[in-house]
């Protein structure tokens, strides 16, 4: 029987939201929750003679829109869990359910954002590093609209608040002052990757572990893998850590092509002989995990608890997933929306790291046993990260 160890669980289990993608900002996914605010709860009567009182449910007229990256909103990963955070945030404040749009390609980022603006939306969540430039431009041009950029910090802007696209950017502008309603969220991916590396080194029998990223143009992907290598070597300095990227330019193949991911991983496993494989490739990475399980080696997921998101308990295609390196995507988006609603939110770069509870690893799963010493090492490393005493990325962190 497969069990999930809760001894090293670093977050509460996230609820899976399956949503169908839309083609326009004015249409919600078919499985979106009701837009009605939560029902008010009746308070208990203090005495039989005293009329019952009712506490009003929260209510907000804020309109929330979500622009994901290319792919699907039900990718069981980055887009989906970020959107889930927007749904939860809307429910928390009593706003109508957020609208969502999935761009067909990168050329649609700006038009999709602007469609929400023209329709009077107050909060626009843009999902992913690739939307940073268009979100910066929109935030500068629409100072009365709040923007939540997931995986978009630290922002690099000029003194005038424009994207700094120079060959050698100076990043001289202060986002908190120049774009005060743009909350740019980032995560310490190298910390989550480091924890995954500890797990990989603790369960390998061949002393050969691997990682496959979608594309090396995304610093977050690179940081995950750099942290993974350092984490594995912290356990065994002589361990072999093989890494590769599905592509160096094609973002669709990198993050939205499970078939390519499976084929790429099958060849990688055969060539490298690894017995643990970490995927950092979104939906393409689901194919990487399929290949790992088909080869009877251990798989490690990314961004969310993929044992849950891929229904690994029932779908044996993913039954080899041991854990996942997590960003707490849903929690961070939900928190930002609540902050906007209650007036506590501030624009600028917001880092979700171990100290802030923003990253971790999912509960251990599958039939592969994780030694207690490895579980202890994960706990100790997380504590050291939170204390700021553990280096989890090299000096060229995030650079391919």
387-397 confidence digits (pLDDT tens): 999 999 999 99
Q: How confident is the model at residue 76 (pLDDT cuts 50, 70, 90)?
A: confident
What pLDDT digit, counting tens, does each position of 201-210 carry? 999 999 999 9
pLDDT score of 4 more than 60: no
Residue-wise pLDDT tens digits, 323-376: 999 999 999 999 999 999 999 999 999 999 999 999 999 999 877 899 999 999
Residue pLDDT, tens place only, 290-324? 999 999 999 999 999 999 999 999 999 999 999 99
Q: What band does 53 get if pLDDT is binned at 50, 70 and 90?
A: low
Q: What is the 3-state secondary structure (H, E, C) of the chain?
A: CCCCECCCCCCCCCCCCCCCCCCCCCCCCCCCCCCCCCCCEECCCCCCCCCCCEECCCCCCCCEEEECCCCCCCCCCHHHHHHHHHHHHHHHHCCCCCEEECCCCHHHHHHHHHHHHHCCCCEEEEECHHHHHHHHHHHHHCCCCEEEEECCCCCCECCCCCECCCCCCCCCCCHHHHCCCEEEEEECHHHHHHHHHHHHHHHCCCCEEEEEEEECCCHHHHHHHHHHHHHHHHHCCCCEEEEEEEECCCHHHHHCCHHHHHHHHHHHHHHHCCCEEEEECHHHHHHHHHHHHHCCCEEEEEECCHHHHCCCCCCHHHCCEEEEEEECHHHHHHHHHHHHHHCCCCCEEEEECHHHCCEEECCECCCCCCCHHHHHHHHHHHHHHHHCCCCCCCCCCCCC
Percent of the chain past pLDDT 90, that is, above it, reads 78
Is a pLDDT exceeding 70 seen at residue 55?
no
pLDDT tens per residue, range 169-179: 999 999 999 99
Mean predicted confidence (pLDDT) in 208-232: 96
């Amino acid at each position: 029987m497969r069990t999930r160890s809760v001894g090293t669980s670093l977050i509460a289990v996230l609820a899976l939201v399956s949503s169908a993608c839309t083609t326009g900002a004015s249409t919600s996914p078919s499985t979106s929750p009701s837009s009605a605010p939560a029902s008010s709860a009746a308070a208990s009567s203090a005495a039989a003679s005293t009329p019952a009182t009712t506490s009003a449910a929260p209510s907000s007229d804020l309109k929330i829109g979500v622009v994901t990256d290319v792919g699907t909103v039900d990718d069981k990963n980055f887009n989906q869990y970020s959107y889930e955070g927007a749904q939860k945030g809307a429910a928390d404040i009593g706003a109508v359910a957020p609208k969502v749009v999935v761009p067909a390609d990168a050329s649609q980022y700006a038009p999709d954002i602007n469609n929400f603006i023209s329709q009077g939306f107050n909060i626009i969540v843009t999902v992913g590093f690739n939307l940073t430039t268009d979100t910066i431009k929109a935030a500068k041009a629409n100072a009365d609209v709040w923007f939540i950029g997931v995986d978009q910090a630290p922002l690099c802007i000029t003194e005038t608040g424009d994207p700094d696209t120079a060959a050698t950017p100076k990043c001289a502008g202060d986002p908190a002052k120049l774009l005060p309603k743009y909350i740019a969220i980032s995560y310490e991916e190298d910390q989550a990757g480091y924890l995954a590396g500890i797990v990989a080194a603790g369960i390998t029998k061949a002393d050969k572990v691997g990682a496959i990223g979608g594309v090396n143009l995304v610093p977050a992907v690179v940081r995950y893998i750099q942290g993974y290598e350092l984490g594995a070597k912290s356990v065994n300095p002589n361990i072999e850590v093989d890494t590769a990227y599905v592509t160096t330019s094609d973002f669709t193949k990198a993050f939205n092509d499970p078939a390519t991911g499976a084929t790429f991983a099958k060849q990688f496993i055969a060539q490298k002989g690894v017995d643990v494989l970490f995927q950092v490739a979104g939906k393409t990475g689901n194919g990487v995990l399929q290949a790992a399980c088909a080869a009877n080696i251990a798989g490690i997921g990314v961004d969310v608890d993929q044992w849950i998101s891929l229904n690994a308990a029932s779908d044996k295609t993913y039954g080899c997933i041991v854990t996942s390196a997590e960003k707490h995507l849903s929690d961070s988006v939900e928190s930002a929306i609540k902050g906007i609603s209650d007036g506590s939110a501030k624009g600028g770069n917001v880092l979700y790291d171990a100290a802030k509870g923003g990253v971790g690893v999912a509960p251990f799963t599958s039939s592969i046993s994780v030694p207690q010493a490895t579980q202890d090492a994960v706990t100790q490393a997380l504590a050291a990260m939170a204390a700021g005493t553990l280096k989890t990325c090299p000096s060229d962190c995030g650079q391919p």
